[in-house]
Amino acid sequence: MSRYSAMFERLSGEGAFGAFLMLGDPDLESSAALLDAVIEGGADMIEVGIPFSDPVADGSVIQAAAQRALSAGVRVADCLELIASLRRRNSQVPIGILTYANIVLARPGFIRDSAEAGADSLLIADVPALEAQPFVREMEQAGIEPVLIAAANTPDETLKRIANLSKAYTYCVSRAGITGTHAAGQFDAELIDRVKQAGAPPPIFGFGISKPEHVRAALDSGAKGVICGSAIVNLVSRRQDVASFVQSLKAVTRNDSMAE
């Protein structure tokens, strides 16, 4: 069983809390400690960004994090090593990579190397379902699960394609825009229904999760979990405690499980 399936089974209805960190932000050593901190805070799954110079799907907070990592001289190989060492410390937590197509293309064997480092899934932010096929084929061969994005404006036909191509979870975006913009998403129950109808992997909401009420609203919409990114990365940039923040949001998923 994949680590994602095992996680969903273990949670049995309790919402999954995904914590996002940019690898190498602000430097390699701190980054390794931050990965441990979000797990300590109770994150059920870890999403890690591999920094790219031109992250068009990201808002200013994540962009700045990528820039900090790149300015610190962090390379793709360092990121893969951070993942490998986290995997050595923790054999169970699902680790998903979020990055951009040019990073994947530039390193021959990037997908295989990611799988070997112990990552469980790969989301390429600028590869929509329309262009995903060749990447998915390579991921299947390497044994890493493809994750695709479903947005409120994604037609049912594309959701079916996402159902056929992806595994792990479906990264749902309920409002237009990029990561980390201030207004919280209106967590669209209709999108979650359509994702489930299409038979796509478990829907998880990303974008706009920074407060307990966002987690609650996202889970109330029927999502199987949430991913919190910019709010955590903001704390990293201010060198503030991420573990207790993760703990406060994760707590909501436990309280909310009764509603399921």
Partner 1 sequence: MRLNGRFGRFGGCYVPEILVPALEQLEAAFLDAQDDPEFIAELNRLLANYAGRPTPLTRCRNLAGNIYLKREDLLHGGAHKTNQVLGQGLLAKRMEKTRLIAETGAGQHGVATAIVGALLGFETVIYMGAEDVERQKLNVFRMQLMGAEVVPVTSGGQTLKDAINEALRDWSASFPTTHYLLGTAAGPHPFPTMVREFQRVIGREARTQIIEQLARLPDAVIACVGGGSNAIGLFADFIDDPVRLIGVEAAGKGLDSDDHGATLLRGTPGILHGAETYVLQDSDGQVTDTWSVSAGLDYPAVGPEHAHLKDSGRAQYVGATDAEALFAFKALAEKEGIICAFESAHALAHALKLAAEEPEIAILVGLSGRGDKDVAQAQALLGAGLVDEIQAKALLA
Catalytic residues: 47, 58
Binding site for partner 1 (CB under 8 A): 52-57, 59-60, 63-64, 67, 70, 75-76, 100-107, 125-131, 148-151, 153-155, 158, 173, 175-178, 181
- C-beta of 119 vs 173, nearer to partner 1: 173
Min dist CB 255 to partner 1, Å, is: 31
CB 100, min distance to partner 1, A: 8
Q: Yes or no: say if 252 and 215 are a contact pair by the CB < 8 Å rule.
A: yes
If the CB atoms of residues 17 and 100 are measured against partner 1, the closer one turns out to be 100
Spatial CA neighbour of 188 closest among 202, 199, 176 = 176
Q: With respect to partner 1, which residue has the nearer C-beta, 59 or 212?
A: 59
Phi, psi dihedrals of residue 209, rounded to the nearest 5°: -105, 100
Question: Nearest distance from residue 232's CB to partner 1, in Å?
Answer: 20
Residue-wise burial string across 12-47, b where 16 or more C-beta atoms lie within 10 A, e elsewhere: eebbbbbbbbbbbbbebeebbebbebbbebbbbbbb
